[in-house]
Chain A
Protein backbone atom coordinates (compact mmCIF):
# COMPACT_ATOMS: atom_id res chain seq x y z
CA UNK A 1 0.00 0.00 0.00
CA UNK A 2 2.48 2.59 1.14
CA UNK A 3 5.36 3.13 -1.25
CA UNK A 4 8.29 5.55 -1.17
CA UNK A 5 7.61 9.11 -0.12
CA UNK A 6 6.55 11.39 -2.96
CA UNK A 7 6.32 15.15 -3.27
CA UNK A 8 2.84 16.63 -3.51
CA UNK A 9 3.87 19.67 -5.51
CA UNK A 10 6.01 17.73 -7.97
CA UNK A 11 2.95 15.61 -8.66
CA UNK A 12 0.92 18.80 -9.09
CA UNK A 13 3.40 20.25 -11.59
CA UNK A 14 3.45 17.00 -13.57
CA UNK A 15 -0.30 16.66 -13.86
CA UNK A 16 -0.66 20.33 -14.84
CA UNK A 17 1.76 19.78 -17.70
CA UNK A 18 -0.06 16.67 -18.79
CA UNK A 19 -3.48 18.36 -18.68
CA UNK A 20 -2.09 21.36 -20.53
CA UNK A 21 -1.56 19.27 -23.64
CA UNK A 22 -5.06 17.77 -23.45
CA UNK A 23 -7.00 20.93 -22.61
CA UNK A 24 -6.22 23.97 -24.79
CA UNK A 25 -8.68 26.05 -22.73
CA UNK A 26 -6.64 25.46 -19.55
CA UNK A 27 -4.76 28.55 -18.35
CA UNK A 28 -2.58 28.69 -15.26
CA UNK A 29 -2.26 31.75 -13.05
CA UNK A 30 0.13 32.29 -10.19
CA UNK A 31 0.86 35.12 -7.78
CA UNK A 32 4.65 35.16 -7.52
CA UNK A 33 4.65 31.51 -6.55
CA UNK A 34 5.63 29.98 -9.88
CA UNK A 35 8.80 28.57 -8.38
CA UNK A 36 7.16 27.70 -5.07
CA UNK A 37 4.20 25.89 -6.61
CA UNK A 38 6.20 24.55 -9.58
CA UNK A 39 3.77 26.15 -12.02
CA UNK A 40 6.82 27.52 -13.86
CA UNK A 41 7.03 24.16 -15.59
CA UNK A 42 3.61 24.75 -17.14
CA UNK A 43 4.72 28.30 -17.93
CA UNK A 44 7.75 27.08 -19.85
CA UNK A 45 5.69 24.60 -21.85
CA UNK A 46 2.73 26.93 -22.50
CA UNK A 47 3.95 30.51 -22.11
CA UNK A 48 0.88 31.93 -23.87
CA UNK A 49 -1.37 30.26 -21.28
CA UNK A 50 0.57 31.11 -18.15
CA UNK A 51 0.33 34.35 -16.18
CA UNK A 52 2.32 35.30 -13.12
CA UNK A 53 0.35 38.23 -11.74
CA UNK A 54 2.75 39.07 -8.95
CA UNK A 55 2.11 39.44 -5.26
CA UNK A 56 -1.53 40.34 -5.76
CA UNK A 57 -3.85 37.49 -4.82
CA UNK A 58 -7.09 39.46 -4.94
CA UNK A 59 -6.36 40.61 -8.47
CA UNK A 60 -5.28 37.11 -9.46
CA UNK A 61 -8.55 35.58 -8.30
CA UNK A 62 -10.59 38.30 -10.06
CA UNK A 63 -8.54 37.97 -13.26
CA UNK A 64 -9.24 34.23 -13.18
CA UNK A 65 -12.96 34.99 -12.93
CA UNK A 66 -12.75 37.30 -15.94
CA UNK A 67 -10.94 34.64 -17.94
CA UNK A 68 -13.53 32.02 -17.03
CA UNK A 69 -16.31 34.38 -18.12
CA UNK A 70 -14.59 34.46 -21.51
CA UNK A 71 -14.45 30.67 -21.84
CA UNK A 72 -11.07 29.78 -20.35
CA UNK A 73 -10.57 27.26 -17.56
CA UNK A 74 -8.20 29.02 -15.18
CA UNK A 75 -6.27 27.16 -12.53
CA UNK A 76 -5.17 29.87 -10.10
CA UNK A 77 -2.43 28.64 -7.81
CA UNK A 78 -1.53 30.60 -4.70
CA UNK A 79 -0.62 30.11 -1.09
CA UNK A 80 -3.81 28.69 0.43
CA UNK A 81 -3.59 31.30 3.16
CA UNK A 82 -3.70 34.22 0.74
CA UNK A 83 -6.12 32.71 -1.73
CA UNK A 84 -8.71 31.52 0.76
CA UNK A 85 -8.38 34.28 3.32
CA UNK A 86 -7.07 37.43 1.66
CA UNK A 87 -8.99 36.91 -1.57
CA UNK A 88 -12.01 35.27 0.04
CA UNK A 89 -14.45 37.99 -0.96
CA UNK A 90 -13.29 37.89 -4.58
CA UNK A 91 -13.83 34.13 -4.54
CA UNK A 92 -17.30 34.64 -3.07
CA UNK A 93 -18.49 37.42 -5.37
CA UNK A 94 -16.75 36.65 -8.65
CA UNK A 95 -16.46 32.85 -8.62
CA UNK A 96 -18.85 31.20 -6.18
CA UNK A 97 -21.82 33.51 -6.86
CA UNK A 98 -21.70 33.40 -10.69
CA UNK A 99 -20.59 29.71 -10.59
CA UNK A 100 -17.60 30.45 -12.80
CA UNK A 101 -15.40 27.59 -13.90
CA UNK A 102 -12.31 28.58 -11.90
CA UNK A 103 -10.09 26.18 -10.00
CA UNK A 104 -8.34 27.73 -7.02
CA UNK A 105 -5.39 25.63 -5.91
CA UNK A 106 -4.22 26.53 -2.42
CA UNK A 107 -0.63 25.46 -1.87
CA UNK A 108 1.22 25.22 1.42
CA UNK A 109 -2.06 24.57 3.22
CA UNK A 110 -2.22 23.50 6.85
CA UNK A 111 1.10 23.84 8.62
CA UNK A 112 3.15 22.65 5.65
CA UNK A 113 4.93 26.01 5.61
CA UNK A 114 5.76 25.33 9.26
CA UNK A 115 8.95 27.32 9.79
CA UNK A 116 7.44 30.49 8.30
CA UNK A 117 5.08 30.63 11.24
CA UNK A 118 1.44 31.60 11.82
CA UNK A 119 1.46 34.34 9.15
CA UNK A 120 1.81 31.57 6.58
CA UNK A 121 0.08 28.67 8.30
CA UNK A 122 -3.38 28.05 6.91
CA UNK A 123 -5.69 26.20 9.27
CA UNK A 124 -8.97 27.98 8.61
CA UNK A 125 -9.37 27.93 4.84
CA UNK A 126 -11.86 25.06 4.80
CA UNK A 127 -14.06 26.87 7.30
CA UNK A 128 -14.19 29.87 4.98
CA UNK A 129 -14.47 28.14 1.62
CA UNK A 130 -16.93 25.44 2.68
CA UNK A 131 -19.46 28.14 3.52
CA UNK A 132 -19.47 29.45 -0.04
CA UNK A 133 -22.35 28.10 -2.17
CA UNK A 134 -21.47 26.26 -5.40
CA UNK A 135 -17.88 25.55 -4.33
CA UNK A 136 -16.49 22.03 -4.62
CA UNK A 137 -13.65 21.40 -2.17
CA UNK A 138 -11.11 18.61 -2.63
CA UNK A 139 -8.30 17.67 -0.22
CA UNK A 140 -6.02 15.18 -1.97
CA UNK A 141 -4.05 12.99 0.42
CA UNK A 142 -1.18 11.72 -1.72
CA UNK A 143 0.44 12.25 -5.10
CA UNK A 144 -1.97 9.96 -6.94
CA UNK A 145 -4.89 11.76 -5.33
CA UNK A 146 -3.37 15.08 -6.43
CA UNK A 147 -3.34 13.86 -10.00
CA UNK A 148 -6.88 12.52 -9.66
CA UNK A 149 -8.08 15.80 -8.16
CA UNK A 150 -6.84 17.81 -11.13
CA UNK A 151 -8.43 15.37 -13.56
CA UNK A 152 -11.66 15.70 -11.57
CA UNK A 153 -11.27 19.49 -11.62
CA UNK A 154 -11.15 19.57 -15.40
CA UNK A 155 -14.07 17.15 -15.65
CA UNK A 156 -16.24 19.25 -13.33
CA UNK A 157 -17.70 22.47 -14.70
CA UNK A 158 -17.86 24.99 -11.89
CA UNK A 159 -15.89 26.57 -9.08
CA UNK A 160 -13.50 24.43 -7.10
CA UNK A 161 -10.95 24.77 -4.33
CA UNK A 162 -8.18 22.19 -4.20
CA UNK A 163 -6.19 22.18 -1.01
CA UNK A 164 -2.58 21.07 -1.22
CA UNK A 165 -0.56 20.36 1.90
CA UNK A 166 2.99 20.32 0.60
CA UNK A 167 5.55 17.78 1.68
CA UNK A 168 6.59 14.23 0.94
CA UNK A 169 4.15 11.60 2.03
CA UNK A 170 3.40 7.91 1.55
CA UNK A 171 1.20 6.86 -1.34
CA UNK A 172 -2.05 5.06 -0.60
CA UNK A 173 -4.08 5.48 -3.77
CA UNK A 174 -3.31 3.53 -6.93
CA UNK A 175 -1.57 5.29 -9.78
CA UNK A 176 -4.22 6.46 -12.23
CA UNK A 177 -6.97 6.13 -9.63
CA UNK A 178 -10.27 7.75 -10.55
CA UNK A 179 -11.39 9.87 -7.60
CA UNK A 180 -14.70 11.64 -7.95
CA UNK A 181 -16.31 14.77 -6.61
CA UNK A 182 -18.54 13.69 -3.72
CA UNK A 183 -16.89 10.30 -3.31
CA UNK A 184 -14.62 9.01 -0.56
CA UNK A 185 -12.53 5.85 -0.66
CA UNK A 186 -12.16 3.06 1.89
CA UNK A 187 -8.42 2.48 2.16
CA UNK A 188 -8.48 -0.12 4.93
CA UNK A 189 -11.32 -2.20 6.34
CA UNK A 190 -12.26 -2.48 10.00
CA UNK A 191 -15.44 -2.87 12.03
CA UNK A 192 -14.70 -1.20 15.39
CA UNK A 193 -14.25 2.42 14.42
CA UNK A 194 -13.94 4.52 11.26
CA UNK A 195 -11.17 7.02 10.83
CA UNK A 196 -12.25 9.67 8.32
CA UNK A 197 -9.13 11.35 6.95
CA UNK A 198 -8.70 14.49 4.89
CA UNK A 199 -5.44 15.52 3.22
CA UNK A 200 -2.03 13.93 3.66
CA UNK A 201 -2.54 12.70 7.21
CA UNK A 202 -2.53 9.05 6.16
CA UNK A 203 1.02 8.26 7.29
CA UNK A 204 -0.01 9.10 10.85
CA UNK A 205 -3.41 7.45 10.47
CA UNK A 206 -1.95 4.18 9.21
CA UNK A 207 0.67 4.13 11.93
CA UNK A 208 -2.08 4.58 14.51
CA UNK A 209 -4.17 1.88 12.85
CA UNK A 210 -1.30 -0.59 13.03
CA UNK A 211 -0.78 0.20 16.72
CA UNK A 212 -4.50 -0.15 17.48
CA UNK A 213 -4.62 -3.46 15.67
CA UNK A 214 -2.15 -4.88 18.18
CA UNK A 215 -4.54 -4.05 20.97
CA UNK A 216 -7.40 -5.67 19.09
CA UNK A 217 -9.09 -2.58 17.60
CA UNK A 218 -9.84 -2.86 13.90
CA UNK A 219 -10.12 0.60 12.40
CA UNK A 220 -11.64 1.30 9.01
CA UNK A 221 -9.82 4.10 7.21
CA UNK A 222 -11.65 6.35 4.74
CA UNK A 223 -9.99 9.03 2.67
CA UNK A 224 -12.76 11.58 2.35
CA UNK A 225 -11.05 13.45 -0.56
CA UNK A 226 -14.19 15.44 -1.39
CA UNK A 227 -14.98 17.79 1.50
CA UNK A 228 -17.80 19.53 -0.33
CA UNK A 229 -19.88 17.76 -1.33
CA UNK A 230 -19.21 15.11 1.31
CA UNK A 231 -19.76 11.44 0.60
CA UNK A 232 -22.81 11.32 2.89
CA UNK A 233 -23.61 7.72 2.05
CA UNK A 234 -20.17 6.37 2.85
CA UNK A 235 -19.94 8.36 6.09
CA UNK A 236 -23.39 7.30 7.32
CA UNK A 237 -22.75 3.72 6.28
CA UNK A 238 -19.48 3.78 8.25
CA UNK A 239 -21.30 5.25 11.26
CA UNK A 240 -23.83 2.45 11.04
CA UNK A 241 -21.30 -0.32 10.56
CA UNK A 242 -18.59 0.75 13.02
CA UNK A 243 -20.60 2.74 15.56
CA UNK A 244 -18.17 5.62 16.00
CA UNK A 245 -16.16 8.04 13.88
CA UNK A 246 -12.82 9.80 14.29
CA UNK A 247 -12.04 12.67 11.91
CA UNK A 248 -8.43 13.57 11.15
CA UNK A 249 -7.45 16.71 9.31
CA UNK A 250 -4.73 19.30 9.02
CA UNK A 251 -7.09 22.14 9.83
CA UNK A 252 -8.51 23.87 12.87
CA UNK A 253 -11.11 21.83 14.70
CA UNK A 254 -13.39 24.78 13.94
CA UNK A 255 -15.07 24.64 10.56
CA UNK A 256 -13.22 21.71 9.05
CA UNK A 257 -14.26 18.15 8.22
CA UNK A 258 -14.83 17.28 11.87
CA UNK A 259 -17.67 19.75 12.09
CA UNK A 260 -18.96 18.78 8.64
CA UNK A 261 -19.09 15.10 9.59
CA UNK A 262 -20.53 15.80 13.05
CA UNK A 263 -23.26 17.93 11.54
CA UNK A 264 -24.12 15.19 9.02
CA UNK A 265 -24.32 12.31 11.50
CA UNK A 266 -26.11 14.36 14.14
CA UNK A 267 -28.92 14.92 11.64
CA UNK A 268 -29.19 11.34 10.40
CA UNK A 269 -27.48 8.78 12.60
CA UNK A 270 -25.89 10.17 15.76
CA UNK A 271 -22.81 8.25 16.84
CA UNK A 272 -19.84 9.50 18.90
CA UNK A 273 -17.54 11.64 16.75
CA UNK A 274 -14.02 12.53 17.88
CA UNK A 275 -12.63 15.49 15.95
CA UNK A 276 -8.87 15.60 15.57
CA UNK A 277 -7.14 18.55 14.01
CA UNK A 278 -5.41 21.67 15.26
CA UNK A 279 -6.48 23.63 18.32
CA UNK A 280 -8.21 27.01 18.07
CA UNK A 281 -5.04 29.05 18.37
CA UNK A 282 -2.23 30.51 16.30
CA UNK A 283 0.80 28.23 16.45
CA UNK A 284 4.50 29.02 16.09
CA UNK A 285 7.43 28.55 13.74
CA UNK A 286 8.75 25.01 13.73
CA UNK A 287 9.54 22.18 11.33
CA UNK A 288 6.47 20.48 9.92
CA UNK A 289 6.84 17.23 11.82
CA UNK A 290 7.41 19.07 15.10
CA UNK A 291 4.16 20.99 14.63
CA UNK A 292 2.26 17.80 13.82
CA UNK A 293 3.68 16.09 16.91
CA UNK A 294 3.07 19.00 19.25
CA UNK A 295 -0.26 20.39 18.08
CA UNK A 296 -1.70 18.19 15.40
CA UNK A 297 -3.17 14.78 14.69
CA UNK A 298 0.00 12.73 15.21
CA UNK A 299 -0.27 8.95 15.31
CA UNK A 300 -0.23 9.12 19.13
CA UNK A 301 -3.05 11.69 19.14
CA UNK A 302 -5.05 9.54 16.73
CA UNK A 303 -4.62 6.47 18.98
CA UNK A 304 -5.89 8.50 21.95
CA UNK A 305 -8.77 9.84 19.85
CA UNK A 306 -9.77 6.35 18.77
CA UNK A 307 -9.63 5.13 22.36
CA UNK A 308 -11.91 7.98 23.44
CA UNK A 309 -14.27 7.18 20.59
CA UNK A 310 -14.35 3.49 21.53
CA UNK A 311 -15.03 4.33 25.16
CA UNK A 312 -17.91 6.63 24.21
CA UNK A 313 -19.28 4.04 21.84
CA UNK A 314 -19.40 1.56 24.67
CA UNK A 315 -20.97 4.09 26.98
CA UNK A 316 -17.98 4.49 29.25
Chain B
Protein backbone atom coordinates (compact mmCIF):
# COMPACT_ATOMS: atom_id res chain seq x y z
CA UNK B 1 0.00 0.00 0.00
CA UNK B 2 1.38 3.44 -0.92
CA UNK B 3 1.82 6.17 1.67
CA UNK B 4 -0.97 8.17 0.01
CA UNK B 5 -3.36 5.23 0.11
CA UNK B 6 -2.43 4.52 3.70
CA UNK B 7 -3.03 8.15 4.65
CA UNK B 8 -6.40 8.05 2.95
CA UNK B 9 -7.34 4.89 4.80
CA UNK B 10 -6.45 6.52 8.10
CA UNK B 11 -8.41 9.66 7.18
CA UNK B 12 -11.49 7.64 6.28
CA UNK B 13 -11.29 5.68 9.53
CA UNK B 14 -10.88 8.86 11.57
CA UNK B 15 -13.82 10.55 9.89
CA UNK B 16 -15.94 7.48 10.40
CA UNK B 17 -15.13 7.55 14.11
CA UNK B 18 -15.97 11.24 14.18
CA UNK B 19 -19.36 10.47 12.67
CA UNK B 20 -20.04 7.98 15.49
CA UNK B 21 -19.00 10.58 18.05
CA UNK B 22 -21.38 13.13 16.48
CA UNK B 23 -24.16 10.55 16.71
CA UNK B 24 -23.51 10.01 20.42
CA UNK B 25 -23.60 13.76 21.04
CA UNK B 26 -26.79 14.01 19.03
CA UNK B 27 -28.54 11.31 21.04
CA UNK B 28 -27.57 12.86 24.37
CA UNK B 29 -28.55 16.37 23.27
CA UNK B 30 -31.99 15.41 22.09
CA UNK B 31 -32.57 13.04 25.00
CA UNK B 32 -31.86 15.72 27.62
CA UNK B 33 -34.41 18.07 26.12
CA UNK B 34 -37.11 15.43 25.84
CA UNK B 35 -38.07 15.28 22.22
CA UNK B 36 -36.45 16.04 18.94
CA UNK B 37 -35.40 15.15 15.42
CA UNK B 38 -33.28 12.03 15.77
CA UNK B 39 -33.72 10.43 12.36
CA UNK B 40 -32.54 13.20 10.06
CA UNK B 41 -29.63 14.18 12.32
CA UNK B 42 -28.32 10.61 12.45
CA UNK B 43 -28.61 10.15 8.68
CA UNK B 44 -26.37 13.18 8.10
CA UNK B 45 -23.52 12.28 10.47
CA UNK B 46 -20.97 11.12 7.85
CA UNK B 47 -21.78 14.08 5.60
CA UNK B 48 -21.26 16.57 8.43
CA UNK B 49 -18.10 14.76 9.60
CA UNK B 50 -16.62 14.77 6.09
CA UNK B 51 -17.32 18.47 5.74
CA UNK B 52 -16.27 19.70 9.18
CA UNK B 53 -13.27 17.50 9.82
CA UNK B 54 -11.87 17.52 6.31
CA UNK B 55 -13.44 19.52 3.49
CA UNK B 56 -14.30 22.97 4.83
CA UNK B 57 -11.69 25.71 5.10
CA UNK B 58 -12.74 27.23 8.42
CA UNK B 59 -11.07 28.58 11.56
CA UNK B 60 -12.77 27.90 14.87
CA UNK B 61 -10.49 30.48 16.50
CA UNK B 62 -11.63 33.07 13.94
CA UNK B 63 -15.25 32.22 13.06
CA UNK B 64 -15.62 35.36 10.92
CA UNK B 65 -12.48 34.73 8.86
CA UNK B 66 -13.46 36.42 5.59
CA UNK B 67 -12.00 33.69 3.37
CA UNK B 68 -13.82 30.85 5.10
CA UNK B 69 -16.00 28.36 3.29
CA UNK B 70 -19.66 28.63 4.16
CA UNK B 71 -22.04 25.94 5.28
CA UNK B 72 -25.83 26.27 5.28
CA UNK B 73 -27.92 23.62 7.02
CA UNK B 74 -31.08 23.90 4.98
CA UNK B 75 -32.52 20.90 6.82
CA UNK B 76 -32.22 22.90 10.01
CA UNK B 77 -33.95 20.28 12.15
CA UNK B 78 -30.69 18.31 11.95
CA UNK B 79 -29.08 21.08 14.02
CA UNK B 80 -27.86 18.76 16.84
CA UNK B 81 -25.42 16.90 14.60
CA UNK B 82 -24.10 20.22 13.30
CA UNK B 83 -23.76 21.73 16.78
CA UNK B 84 -21.87 18.61 17.84
CA UNK B 85 -19.45 19.11 14.95
CA UNK B 86 -19.01 22.81 15.73
CA UNK B 87 -18.30 21.99 19.36
CA UNK B 88 -15.81 19.26 18.43
CA UNK B 89 -14.12 21.74 16.06
CA UNK B 90 -13.77 24.20 18.94
CA UNK B 91 -16.25 26.89 17.93
CA UNK B 92 -17.72 26.70 21.43
CA UNK B 93 -17.37 24.49 24.53
CA UNK B 94 -18.78 20.99 24.37
CA UNK B 95 -20.66 21.77 27.59
CA UNK B 96 -22.95 24.05 25.56
CA UNK B 97 -24.44 20.98 23.91
CA UNK B 98 -26.32 20.22 27.13
CA UNK B 99 -28.18 23.51 26.78
CA UNK B 100 -29.70 22.64 23.40
CA UNK B 101 -33.21 24.12 23.08
CA UNK B 102 -33.24 25.31 26.71
CA UNK B 103 -34.27 28.83 27.71
CA UNK B 104 -31.34 31.21 27.24
CA UNK B 105 -29.26 28.75 25.21
CA UNK B 106 -27.05 29.81 22.33
CA UNK B 107 -28.15 26.59 20.61
CA UNK B 108 -31.64 27.07 19.19
CA UNK B 109 -33.87 24.29 17.89
CA UNK B 110 -33.03 25.45 14.39
CA UNK B 111 -29.79 27.29 13.52
CA UNK B 112 -29.60 30.98 14.46
CA UNK B 113 -26.64 32.90 13.03
CA UNK B 114 -26.97 35.63 15.64
CA UNK B 115 -26.54 33.24 18.56
CA UNK B 116 -24.21 30.39 17.64
CA UNK B 117 -20.51 30.76 16.76
CA UNK B 118 -19.79 29.05 13.45
CA UNK B 119 -23.36 29.36 12.19
CA UNK B 120 -23.25 31.71 9.20
CA UNK B 121 -26.86 31.49 8.10
CA UNK B 122 -30.12 31.17 9.96
CA UNK B 123 -32.13 28.28 8.54
CA UNK B 124 -34.63 25.59 9.16
CA UNK B 125 -37.77 26.83 7.50
CA UNK B 126 -37.54 24.15 4.85
CA UNK B 127 -36.86 24.94 1.23
CA UNK B 128 -34.87 28.13 1.74
CA UNK B 129 -31.27 27.14 2.41
CA UNK B 130 -30.26 26.59 -1.18
CA UNK B 131 -31.47 30.06 -2.15
CA UNK B 132 -29.40 31.56 0.66
CA UNK B 133 -26.46 29.50 -0.59
CA UNK B 134 -26.93 30.95 -4.08
CA UNK B 135 -26.78 34.44 -2.57
CA UNK B 136 -23.57 33.65 -0.68
CA UNK B 137 -22.01 32.11 -3.79
CA UNK B 138 -22.90 35.19 -5.86
CA UNK B 139 -21.40 37.47 -3.19
CA UNK B 140 -18.21 35.38 -3.20
CA UNK B 141 -18.03 35.71 -6.95
CA UNK B 142 -18.35 39.52 -6.79
CA UNK B 143 -15.45 39.53 -4.34
CA UNK B 144 -13.42 37.12 -6.45
CA UNK B 145 -13.15 34.99 -3.32
CA UNK B 146 -11.74 31.44 -3.34
CA UNK B 147 -14.39 30.44 -0.78
CA UNK B 148 -17.01 27.82 -1.49
CA UNK B 149 -20.56 27.23 -0.24
CA UNK B 150 -21.96 23.89 0.91
CA UNK B 151 -25.68 23.49 1.51
CA UNK B 152 -27.00 20.37 3.22
CA UNK B 153 -30.59 19.71 2.23
CA UNK B 154 -33.17 17.17 3.16
CA UNK B 155 -34.85 15.23 0.39
CA UNK B 156 -38.35 15.96 1.68
CA UNK B 157 -37.78 19.71 1.48
CA UNK B 158 -37.26 19.35 -2.25
CA UNK B 159 -41.04 19.35 -2.46
CA UNK B 160 -40.86 23.11 -1.75
CA UNK B 161 -41.12 25.19 -4.91
CA UNK B 162 -38.47 27.70 -3.85
CA UNK B 163 -35.84 24.94 -4.04
CA UNK B 164 -36.39 24.67 -7.76
CA UNK B 165 -36.18 28.43 -8.19
CA UNK B 166 -32.77 28.20 -6.53
CA UNK B 167 -31.70 25.22 -8.66
CA UNK B 168 -32.51 27.22 -11.80
CA UNK B 169 -30.74 30.34 -10.52
CA UNK B 170 -27.60 28.42 -9.50
CA UNK B 171 -27.28 26.80 -12.93
CA UNK B 172 -28.06 30.02 -14.77
CA UNK B 173 -25.34 31.83 -12.86
CA UNK B 174 -22.90 28.92 -13.33
CA UNK B 175 -22.08 28.75 -9.64
CA UNK B 176 -19.14 26.37 -9.63
CA UNK B 177 -18.47 27.43 -6.03
CA UNK B 178 -21.78 25.96 -4.82
CA UNK B 179 -22.33 22.38 -3.66
CA UNK B 180 -25.73 21.06 -2.62
CA UNK B 181 -25.68 17.81 -0.68
CA UNK B 182 -29.03 16.07 -0.46
CA UNK B 183 -29.49 13.74 2.50
CA UNK B 184 -31.61 11.26 0.55
CA UNK B 185 -32.97 9.24 3.46
CA UNK B 186 -36.28 8.75 1.70
CA UNK B 187 -38.49 9.57 4.67
CA UNK B 188 -40.46 12.61 5.70
CA UNK B 189 -42.86 13.27 8.58
CA UNK B 190 -45.85 11.58 6.95
CA UNK B 191 -43.99 8.62 5.48
CA UNK B 192 -41.74 7.69 2.54
CA UNK B 193 -41.11 10.62 0.18
CA UNK B 194 -42.06 8.44 -2.75
CA UNK B 195 -45.46 7.77 -1.23
CA UNK B 196 -46.19 11.41 -0.22
CA UNK B 197 -45.04 13.30 -3.33
CA UNK B 198 -42.41 11.28 -5.14
CA UNK B 199 -39.10 12.92 -5.97
CA UNK B 200 -38.01 10.17 -8.36
CA UNK B 201 -34.45 10.31 -9.60
CA UNK B 202 -32.87 13.43 -8.18
CA UNK B 203 -29.73 12.72 -10.21
CA UNK B 204 -31.75 12.88 -13.43
CA UNK B 205 -33.50 16.01 -12.28
CA UNK B 206 -30.32 17.86 -11.28
CA UNK B 207 -28.67 16.93 -14.57
CA UNK B 208 -31.73 18.14 -16.48
CA UNK B 209 -31.29 21.45 -14.65
CA UNK B 210 -27.67 21.52 -15.84
CA UNK B 211 -25.94 20.71 -12.60
CA UNK B 212 -23.11 18.24 -12.13
CA UNK B 213 -24.81 15.47 -10.17
CA UNK B 214 -23.05 12.70 -8.26
CA UNK B 215 -24.74 9.88 -6.39
CA UNK B 216 -23.00 8.37 -3.37
CA UNK B 217 -23.62 6.16 -0.39
CA UNK B 218 -24.01 8.88 2.22
CA UNK B 219 -22.55 6.69 4.95
CA UNK B 220 -19.44 5.83 2.93
CA UNK B 221 -16.79 8.40 3.79
CA UNK B 222 -14.58 7.42 0.87
CA UNK B 223 -17.40 8.01 -1.61
CA UNK B 224 -18.30 11.33 0.01
CA UNK B 225 -14.68 12.57 -0.13
CA UNK B 226 -14.35 11.53 -3.75
CA UNK B 227 -17.55 13.37 -4.65
CA UNK B 228 -16.42 16.51 -2.82
CA UNK B 229 -13.12 16.37 -4.76
CA UNK B 230 -15.06 15.96 -7.99
CA UNK B 231 -17.20 19.00 -7.11
CA UNK B 232 -14.11 21.16 -6.73
CA UNK B 233 -12.86 20.14 -10.16
CA UNK B 234 -15.88 21.61 -11.99
CA UNK B 235 -15.96 25.39 -12.07
CA UNK B 236 -18.71 26.24 -14.54
CA UNK B 237 -21.63 24.47 -12.88
CA UNK B 238 -22.91 23.86 -9.38
CA UNK B 239 -22.62 20.32 -8.03
CA UNK B 240 -25.31 18.23 -6.37
CA UNK B 241 -24.21 15.27 -4.30
CA UNK B 242 -27.19 13.01 -3.78
CA UNK B 243 -26.25 11.00 -0.72
CA UNK B 244 -28.30 7.85 -0.23
CA UNK B 245 -28.71 7.48 3.52
CA UNK B 246 -30.70 5.64 6.15
CA UNK B 247 -32.80 7.74 8.44
CA UNK B 248 -31.85 7.03 12.05
CA UNK B 249 -28.56 5.44 10.90
CA UNK B 250 -26.53 3.73 13.59
CA UNK B 251 -29.36 2.96 15.99
CA UNK B 252 -31.01 -0.32 15.09
CA UNK B 253 -34.50 0.50 16.29
CA UNK B 254 -34.53 3.89 14.55
CA UNK B 255 -33.14 2.92 11.17
CA UNK B 256 -35.57 3.47 8.32
CA UNK B 257 -38.48 4.20 10.63
CA UNK B 258 -40.64 7.24 9.97
CA UNK B 259 -41.67 7.64 13.60
CA UNK B 260 -38.09 8.53 14.56
CA UNK B 261 -38.19 11.69 12.45
CA UNK B 262 -39.09 13.36 15.73
CA UNK B 263 -39.66 11.35 18.86
CA UNK B 264 -38.83 10.73 22.51
CA UNK B 265 -36.26 8.24 23.86
CA UNK B 266 -36.50 6.58 27.26
CA UNK B 267 -33.43 5.93 29.39
CA UNK B 268 -33.02 2.27 28.42
CA UNK B 269 -33.40 3.09 24.75
CA UNK B 270 -30.72 5.76 25.12
CA UNK B 271 -28.35 3.24 26.74
CA UNK B 272 -28.99 0.73 24.01
CA UNK B 273 -28.52 3.34 21.26
CA UNK B 274 -25.28 4.63 22.77
CA UNK B 275 -24.01 1.07 23.20
CA UNK B 276 -24.66 0.34 19.53
CA UNK B 277 -22.58 3.41 18.63
CA UNK B 278 -19.68 2.41 20.87
CA UNK B 279 -20.83 4.70 23.69
CA UNK B 280 -18.24 7.35 22.91
CA UNK B 281 -17.67 9.67 25.86
CA UNK B 282 -18.70 13.26 25.29
CA UNK B 283 -16.54 15.01 27.89
CA UNK B 284 -14.13 17.74 26.87
Contact = CB atoms under 8 A, between A and B. Distances in A.
Interface of A: 27, 48-49, 51, 53-54, 56, 58-59, 61-72, 74, 89-90, 93-94, 97-99
Interface majority SS on A: helix, strand, loop or mixed?
Answer: helix
A58 B113 contact: no
A49 B143 CA distance: 10
B169 A70 contact: no
A63 B134 CA distance: 6
Nearest to A29: B135
A58 B131 contact: yes
Interface of B: 66, 70, 72, 112-114, 120-125, 128, 131-140, 142-143, 161-162, 165-166, 168-169, 172-173
B28 to A, nearest CB: 28
Contacts of A62: 128, 131-132, 134-135, 162, 166
Nearest to A70: B139
A63 B128 contact: no
A63 B131 contact: yes
Contacts of B140: 70
Contacts, number: 104
A200 B121 CA distance: 37
Contacts of B121: 65-66, 69, 98
Contacts of B120: 69
Contact of A51 (B128, B138, B143): B138
Contacts of A64: 135
11 contacts: A56-B165, A58-B161, A62-B128, A62-B132, A63-B134, A66-B72, A66-B139, A69-B70, A69-B135, A71-B139, A90-B128
B125 A89 contact: yes
Contacts of B137: 66
B122 A94 contact: yes
Given A48-B142, A59-B169, A90-B162, A65 B135 contact: yes
Nearest to A57: B165
A58 B142 contact: no
A191 B114 CA distance: 47
